[in-house]
Amino acid sequence: MKLFYKPGACSLASHIALQESGMDFSLVGVDLAQKQLENGEDYWQVNPKGQVPALLLDDNTLLTEGVAIMQYIADTKADRQLLAPAGSIARYRTLEWLNYIATELHKGFTPLFRPDTPEDYKPTVRALLEKKLHYVNDALRDNEWICGSRFTIADGYLFTVLRWARAVKLDMSGLKNIEAYMARVAARPGVTAAMEAEGLS
C-alpha cells in the first residue's frame, strides 16, 4: 500500500492510523502546490481530486477521503481496536467525532491556509475555531482519549488538526485538557513514528 501525503497535512491522520495498525505501507510525498510527486509525476493522474490523503491499495484501488481511509485501515486490522465493531454505539461515537473533526474543525481551518482569503475575514474564522476548541477541551475533561478510555482513529485526526491550531497561534490559553491530550497522543509510539517519518519531530 502507498499513502500519498504532505508533511503535517490532514494525511498525517491516515499515516497515524497506518502506524497504529501495524500494516505494511510506504509513503509518497506530494507537492500540493505543483500537484506533483517526488519523481515529477503528475498527481492529478493519481488522484483527480488533487488532494491528500490518498491510499493506493495493493490491487491498485485508490481510496480517498481521510475518514474513509482511516475506517478502511481500522477495519482491516480490527484486532488493533482502532474503531469499535459495526453495530456498537462506541463505533457511532467515533464516527460522530470523525465527522465533527472533518467538517467543523478540519475544514474550518481551510480559510486560514488559503492565500486568497481576505484578511478581514480571518478574525471571524479564528473566533469560530477558538469557540469549537473550548467544546473539544470540555469533551476531554474526563476522558483520556476523545471517545473515552480507548485510542481510536479519531484521536489521530484530532491530534492532526489541533497541531494546526498551535501553528496558526489560535488562543488556546486555559485549554489544559487539550494541552495534556496533545502530549498523551504525541507519546504513543505509532504517533512518534509517523511524526518522525514526516520530519515533524
Which CB, 52 or 83, lies closer to ligand GSH?
52
For residues 127 and 18, what is the distance between their CA atoms, to the nearest angstrom? 33
For residues 107 and 87, what is the distance between their CA atoms, to the nearest angstrom? 28
For residues 192 and 169, what is the distance between their CA atoms, to the nearest angstrom? 23
Which CB, 76 or 173, lies closer to ligand GSH?
76
Which CB, 65 or 144, lies closer to ligand GSH?
65
Is 178 a binding residue for ligand GSH by CB under 6 A? The answer is: no
For residues 125 and 109, what is the distance between their CA atoms, to the nearest angstrom? 8
For residues 8 and 195, what is the distance between their CA atoms, to the nearest angstrom? 8
Which x/- pattern, by CB under 6 A, does the window 2-41 give for ligand GSH? -------xx---------------------x---------
Neighbours of 167 (CB within 10 A): 12
List all residues 6 or more positions away from 95 whose beta carbon is below 8 Å from its beta carbon. Answer: none
Nearest residue to ligand GSH by CB is 51
Which CB, 29 or 148, lies closer to ligand GSH?
29
Which CB, 1 or 179, lies closer to ligand GSH?
1
Which x/- pattern, by CB under 6 A, does the window 57-96 give for ligand GSH? --------xx------------------------------
- Size of site (CB under 6 A) for ligand GSH: 10
For residues 146 and 161, what is the distance between their CA atoms, to the nearest angstrom? 13
Among 51, 71, 94, 152, binds ligand GSH (CB under 6 A): 51
Is 144 a binding residue for ligand GSH by CB under 6 A? The answer is: no
Binding range to ligand GSH, per CB under 6 A, among 46-54, 120-128, 138-146, 183-191: 46-54
State yes or no: cis peptide before 115, omega within 30 of 0.
no
Is 139 a binding residue for ligand GSH by CB under 6 A? The answer is: no
For residues 117 and 136, what is the distance between their CA atoms, to the nearest angstrom? 26
